[in-house]
Amino acid sequence: MTPRLEALKGKFVQLKQPTRDAVSDTAQVETTVKEIIANVRKRGDAAVREYSLAFDKADVANFEVTEEEKLKAVADLDPQTREDTEFAIANVRRFAEAQLGTILPLEIESLPGLHLGHRVIPIETVGCYVPGGRYPLLSAPVMTIVPAKVAGCDQVIACLPPNAHPAMIAGCHLAGADRIFRVGGAQAIAAMAYGTETIPAVDKIVGPGNAFVNEAKRQVFGQVGIDQLAGPSEIFVVADETANAVTIATDLLAQAEHDVRTRVGVVTTDRKLAEDILSEVHNQLETLPTAPVAAVAWKDYGEITVVEDEEAMISYSDHIATEHLQVHTRDPQATAQKLRNYGSIFIGELASVVYSDKCCGTNHTLPTMGAGRYTGGLWVGSYVKIATHQWLDERGVAAVAPAAVRQSATEKLEGHRRAAALRLRPKQLAAE
């Protein structure tokens, strides 16, 4: 039990508890992925082709999508789908550009003659994993590729399962991917990390995926950078007596239909609201076409917690540190200012997670499994490096060298002391 939850003892009761407290046992996944990575690293395209046949039932002759195939995929989109995709791209680009504008280079003269600063440098080559899933997730390539292009990455490649919907290829192309490959799963992560005859090695891999993709990202981290380790989707709602049970239940099930392992929950100060939400979820499941997925997620991971006051509600929410956090209170802006642990926050009843999932402009690739305690989600800053620099004139050397000389001597690091002293004038050395 966390210290935050320990402090809440006696201040909350769970009207509905999750029946599972772990997403899955990953031991077998870890072993399988380790073998896949080793094989792809050793045998390149041949191994990738074998895994595509074994896992995706796809015999892929040419991994890379040709220019003609990209243009055909775009042409085959129905006009409304293309318009909606371009609407999402424009919104994500607009927000990413505004964010990039806040990441500024720095140059200061910290002491006379001592110049310090940093540059904002785009990562050279980025690999975007684009999941296939049960449905064509048209927003997925937008969220990973567009910020990379805004950041100024030299090359952005996309990998997606060979049996992904053709509209996903169109989405990758419209979002700005420089190269697109029909490779999915852990083998795609391995290929992007180490390179094959066909697929270039990248500097950083971003994008969500299944347990095998996630584990592969964990295992190649160090060889390449990664954005984060993402688990199944999550949504929590903080609510008081002014909230609407129908709206909350609808939003919970909208996320629950993602995956049978989706974590969905409510923390509220009002027991009647909690009871109404519980009833409404069951009512809506009776008519929801995706109930075979959503109902399992609700049964296994659904949670409704009633707390005694707003302070306890805030503390409980910060303990959960959910991926998506909706605020349905009398003064949602004020409540939002008190919350600190979440991936992305949706303030007020009109702000649905679905808008961000699809097209409003903020990124939907967000921290899960409590990682909102220490990090935010994918953003344009994920695609740049902040690299420091320094330069000195004689005044700067005079200011810092004596202290560096003395510290090096104290640490018995003679090589350091000599390097620190080398640039001092003879009379300054004599003074030391």
Which residues carry out catalysis? Answer: 323-324
Q: What is the distance between the alpha carbons of residues 260 and 299, in angstroms, rounded to a whole number? A: 9
* Residue 326 token pair: 């909706």
Q: What is the distance between the alpha carbons of residues 322 and 265, in angstroms, rounded to a whole number? A: 9
Q: What is the distance between the alpha carbons of residues 203 and 223, in angstroms, rounded to a whole number? A: 8
Helices in 231-368 by DSSP H: which ranges? Answer: 245-256, 271-285, 291-301, 310-320, 332-338, 353-358
Instruction: Compute the residue count for the chain.
Output: 432
Residues in contact with 61: Cβ distance below 8 Å, sequence separation at least 6, in sequence order: none
Q: What is the distance between the alpha carbons of residues 130 and 330, in angstroms, rounded to a whole number? A: 39
Sign of CA pseudo-dihedral 121, 122, 124, 126: positive
Nearest C-alpha neighbor of 175 from the set 74, 289, 100: 74
Half-sphere exposure for 106 (CA within 13 Å, toward CB): 13
Q: What is the distance between the alpha carbons of residues 241 and 329, in angstroms, rounded to a whole number? A: 8
Burial class (CB in 10 A: 0-12, 13-18, 19+), 289: exposed
- Judge whether 343 and 376 are in contact, CB under 8 Å: yes
- Cα distances from 192 to residues 185, 280, 297, in angstroms, run 11, 45, 32
Q: What are phi and psi of 50, to 5 degrees?
A: -65, -40
Residue 253, number of CB atoms within 10 A of its CB: 25
- Judge whether 100 and 151 are in contact, CB under 8 Å: yes
Q: What are phi and psi of 127, to 5 degrees?
A: -110, 125
Nearest C-alpha neighbor of 146 from the set 103, 107, 201, 98: 98
Q: What is the distance between the alpha carbons of residues 405 and 125, in angstroms, rounded to a whole number? A: 41
- Judge whether 238 and 278 are in contact, CB under 8 Å: no
